[in-house]
Amino acid sequence: MNCIQRICCALAALGATAARAAEHAAPGGGEQIPPTDYGLQIWTLVAFVVLLALLVKFAFKPIAVALDRRGQAIKASLDEAEKQRAEAKKLMEDYQQQVAQARAEAGKIIEEARLLSEKVRKELVDKANAESGALVQRAQEEIVRQKEKGIQELKDTVANLSVQIASRVIEREVNEASHRQIMDKLIADLGNVRKA
């Protein structure tokens, strides 16, 4: 039963109820509507029926069609909203899955970076240790060379001084005073060599 038929039934029932109420009014029990001109009532009823028929033909039908269209539009909107809600739910699940994957990848990248930095740090420490060991070795070798060079120079100097002393001793007559003087000079010369 569509909307127009329901409205017509309701109006007919209302008219019939009003007519029955007027006919069955209790005599002497309250106010009674005095009978009036029945012709006017008939013409009013005819006008009402004609007006009702015109409304049914020209107004109720377009209103009912508009209400049906509106109901269909609302149903379509609800269906579309449900569809969009389902799509939004699916998109949200996809987004959450992507976020979880991104977090897992970020954790993996951070772990790889940590391992790489640890490896680079270890390599740098090993390289620095190797370089410092080589530097210490070279320094020790240089110290040994310089020490041997110094000893050799000292030997050469002592030999030269000994030759000089021997030549001076030969030139002079050795006595205790001159011997003491030569020794003091030799010690002074050795002191000068060491300072140089």
Question: Structure pTM?
Answer: 0.37
- The span from the CA of 42 to the CA of 35, in Å, is 13
Residue 99 lies in a domain: no
- Among the ranges given (16-30, 72-86, 97-111), the one the predictor scored with the smallest mean pLDDT: 16-30
**pLDDT-based confidence at 26, cuts 50/70/90?**
very low
Quick: pLDDT tens for 118-164.
Answer: 999 999 999 989 988 888 898 999 999 998 888 888 878 877 777 77
> How high is the pLDDT of residue 108?
92
Average pLDDT over residues 89-110: 93
**pLDDT-based confidence at 32, cuts 50/70/90?**
low
Please tell me the total count of domains within the chain: 1
Give the residue from 87, 61, 90 showing the smallest Cα distance to 98: 90
Residue 29 lies in a domain: no
> How high is the pLDDT of residue 27?
53
Residue 136 lies in a domain: no
Residue 40 lies in a domain: no
Residue 49 lies in a domain: no
Quick: pLDDT tens for 154-193.
Answer: 878 877 777 777 776 666 555 677 767 777 787 777 777 6
SS3 call for 26: coil
List the structure tokens of 98. Answer: 């992507």
**pLDDT-based confidence at 7, cuts 50/70/90?**
low
Residue 152 lies in a domain: yes
pLDDT over 90 (residue 84)? yes
Residue 75 lies in a domain: no
> How high is the pLDDT of residue 8?
64
**pLDDT-based confidence at 95, cuts 50/70/90?**
very high
Give the residue from 51, 15, 9 showing the smallest Cα distance to 23: 15
Supply the mean pLDDT for the chain. 80
- The span from the CA of 158 to the CA of 152, in Å, is 10
The residue segments making up the domain with residue 146 are: 142-195
> How high is the pLDDT of residue 1?
53
Residue 168 lies in a domain: yes
> How high is the pLDDT of residue 186?
76
- The span from the CA of 102 to the CA of 100, in Å, is 5
> How high is the pLDDT of residue 164?
77
- The span from the CA of 136 to the CA of 189, in Å, is 35
